A and B are shown apart, each in its own frame.
Chain A
Amino acid sequence: MKVDFHCHTRSFKSGDGEMRNVNDELFVKKITSADVGIVAITNHNAFDKVQYKRLKQGVAAVCDVWPGVELDIGYGDSKRYHLIVICNPRNIDLFDKELRRITSGFTAENFVGKIDEVVGIFDPLDCIFMPHFHKSPAIPPEELEALDSLLSNKNRLIAEATNVHSMGIFVTHGVNCIAGSDIKDWNLYPNMELPELRLEIDNFEHLCMLLDRDAKIVKVLLDKNNSSAYDVYPAKGKREIKETINLYNEVNVIFGDKGTGKTEVIKSLIETFNARNIPLAKYISSETAEALEDMLRTDDMARSAASLGIEGCETEFGIVSNYGDRMPTPISEYVDYRLTYKAKASQERIGWNQMKGLADDEGKQINKVEADLENADSVNDSLNKIKLKEYLSQEEAHSLNQLVRLLSKKIDQKYHKEIIEYQSLLLVNFTVERYKYYVSAKTGNAQPPSSTGFAKFALNRLQLKSALDSISKNLKPKEDSNYEVLGHTGEKGRIDIESRYRMLNHGVSSYKEFDGNITNLYKVKDLIHKVNRLALKHNLDQDIVELKTLLSDQEIISTDSFIGVYKQTVDKLHQPYDPSNGERSIIFIQRALNDKDARVYLLDEPELSMANSYIDEIIRPKISELGKQKKMVVLATHNANLAVRTLPYSTVYRAYGADGYKTYYGNPFTNKLVNIADSHDTKEWKEVSMRILEGGRDAFYDRGGIYESGR
């Protein structure tokens, strides 16, 4: 929930400017559109109770409004800093009364309070104190210490940073900190990114309890989100070492020293969710090379002629594989017949020796008409997919349908006629042969040859040549690629995966493109071309036998076998490009985090190979966004920006010491981590995170200066 704990609604000081004045209508409009859940009205040295009540009522449906003030506090020799005081709304009347009293005799312009007096008055009214921190006019360290010492509850002191970025840095390093809009022109509201409370609070008391790290209220607020217990196995291969942890449909973090089993915890969760068929997105930093390798596997690429828009030529390969010459009739049969032929009047009358069979095309014509019939059906099917009335008049659509139906009908009729004719031909030829056989047997004459065998021989060879022509034509070099976005890297831009289909091509194809032996495929292809050249030649025998043997050995039954498949990564110009480790990490973390179908995101050390700025500006907001969408994110990390600034709902801390491994569980809201095996063994979340993630307090303060100076 977004909050604005530093908001001006009226111009009280000369420096405020008129644009700080907001009317009720604009306030409601701006607060509603900015989706702010809590606003504290903190004008300079004054509080307008009437306006406060009106504004509070105006936004009651979407936002709670708390009373407050931004006071000038003096110190040293006429120096000043600003202190925001936000009061429990229940005490608004007292707050209003005390503020009027303390500022009595002053104008907002010239009021300067003393810190001990201010704290003395407002501390008992249940207030939160927010001095400007590294923000002009800022509280100096000694005054901060003084303020801290004066407060009855030190948890009510929150530093106010310049903006959310600075706030994030201070929070990361253990400072209770927040930022507010400090709005100067309501037309521009919100003029900055507003901070968000990780836990949805209902009222001022909730916030105070959170500040007090009240375990009970933290649990109540955390449990507004669903959570479940999961068994995890931090020791590789040792199922007997098991821990049970509660994970929220929010951000959950695992941290600990190297070698304490964080990755194994993530991996065991992957197994668990996979077993439950829960859609998950995963990122294991140490396995991005393997992940890319997996994506470049070609198992999902079908070696199919269709992928190159060519014919599979299954029938043609069948013709080649089963080919055998039809042998000519020996001339001796003609001689034998003439030698044994005894002319008899009855035989001459019947003319049996003149009887010939009819020319047999071996069903070719039927096949042709059958193919036309299939094509007509296909045209019909395609036509049915088109909404004709969107393009044609009713009459035109009707005529077209009628014509297509007529075509199908006529082809069908011809098909049946061809079948009848061909069957008749077979019957005639059979009858002629049987008749000759019986006459021959009866007369003792040799049977007259039915043909020289040329037609059968020639048609058989021509069919072989036609098949080889078709195969050769479809084996011509051709390639086609599909591109799928792999991800985006900073400098190189978009990286794609190219899935390439390529017909076997001498000097171009690579062995990687084929499962089998590419040498044999080249041999088959060469032999196909050779046999094609020899198809009508006499010296065909040896090569066709070799080709048939190879086709059989290599189990080649279509052009599919000659299609090479390959995947590679390419840049935006589709030139081959191998992403570096860092680019690969960026790509895969993006892919995981952008997986909209996943319900669970399991991320192991996403910070490896990535710049801290990339993690903080791109990765962290994305993880927080997933948490807000109530997706479960489990993150093993050493990175403070991720582990702290995402404010995880649960934290698993894996520790290793003299007495072995320990697993602690907790969250940053209670600032406590409890040993799962021993509830008396507790650690401070903040201390552990600072030690593990940043290398201790000193390191924090050094880095704090570096971060800030960069802004």
Chain B
Amino acid sequence: MIEEESMSQGDDSRILQARLFVENEIDYLEIDIDGKKHRLNLNDKDGQEQIKRMFCDLVELLESTALSIELEVADDYDNALMKEVSESYISDLNDELEDVRANIVDE
């Protein structure tokens, strides 16, 4: 079952949910940041502006708490390539969220 709401992970850390699914034959990775859903089109060659929007919300939230993202794959989703891509992407993003939070705390 896909959890759409972000979950609390202790006082200083929160877990956000990311969801991989297909809609109209387009693969989407959707990240939920406090109810604001950022849908990234995995078939788009560019899409940086959409990622920027998401990054901005992440930075704002990161200022007040540590964050990590949990990937949920839709039950009916079967694109193995995009699963790998999403896992790899979310993994990298979590590493970076940790680095940036550490930097904020240092400051």
Give chain A's interface residues, CB within 8 Å of chain B.
325, 327-328, 330-332, 334-335, 338-339, 356, 359, 361, 364, 449, 451-455, 457-459, 461-462, 466, 536-538
Contact = CB atoms under 8 A, between A and B. Distances in A.
Interface stretch (B2-10, B11-19, B47-55): B47-55
B51 A536 contact: no
B59 interface: yes
What 3 A-B pairs are tightest by C-beta distance, nearest first? Answer: A359-B99, A328-B51, A455-B96
B56 A537 contact: yes
A457 B104 CA distance: 14
Contacts of B46: 330, 332
Contacts of B104: 462
Most chain B beta-carbon contacts within 10 A, residue among A334, A452, A459, A538: A452
Contact of A331 (B55, B85, B95, B107): B85
B39 to A, nearest CB: 12
Given A454-B55, A459-B103, A338 B85 contact: yes
Interface of B is mostly: helix
B96 A454 contact: yes
B52 A454 contact: no
A462 B42 contact: no
Contact of A328 (B42, B52, B60): B52
B100 A452 contact: no
B53 A538 contact: yes
B55 A457 contact: yes
Contacts of B60: 536-537
A452 B104 CA distance: 19
Given A459-B100, A462-B103, A538 B52 contact: yes
A710 to B, nearest CB: 80
A458 B102 CA distance: 12
Interface of A is mostly: helix
Contacts of B81: 335, 338-339
B33 interface: no
Contacts of A462: 59, 63, 100, 103-104, 107
B61 to A, nearest CB: 10
Given A455-B100, A458-B100, A536-B59, 17 more contacts: A327-B48, A328-B48, A331-B29, A331-B42, A332-B46, A332-B47, A334-B85, A335-B85, A338-B84, A361-B103, A452-B51, A457-B52, A458-B96, A459-B100, A462-B103, A466-B107, A537-B56
B92 interface: yes
B56 A538 contact: yes
A461 B85 contact: no
Contact of B55 (A328, A361, A364): A328
Contacts of B107: 462, 466
A449 B92 contact: yes
A499 to B, nearest CB: 38
Contact of B52 (A325, A332, A451, A455): A325
Contacts of A466: 107
Contact of B88 (A328, A338, A458, A538): A338
B62 interface: yes
A454 B103 contact: no
Given A328-B51, A338-B81, A454 B100 contact: yes
B23 interface: no
A278 B85 CA distance: 85
A458 B29 contact: no
B100 to A, nearest CB: 5
Contacts of A335: 42, 81-82, 85
Given A328-B52, A462-B103, A537-B56, A454 B85 contact: no
Contact of A452 (B44, B84, B89): B89
B97 interface: yes
Given A331-B47, A331-B85, A334-B89, A458 B59 contact: yes
A502 to B, nearest CB: 32
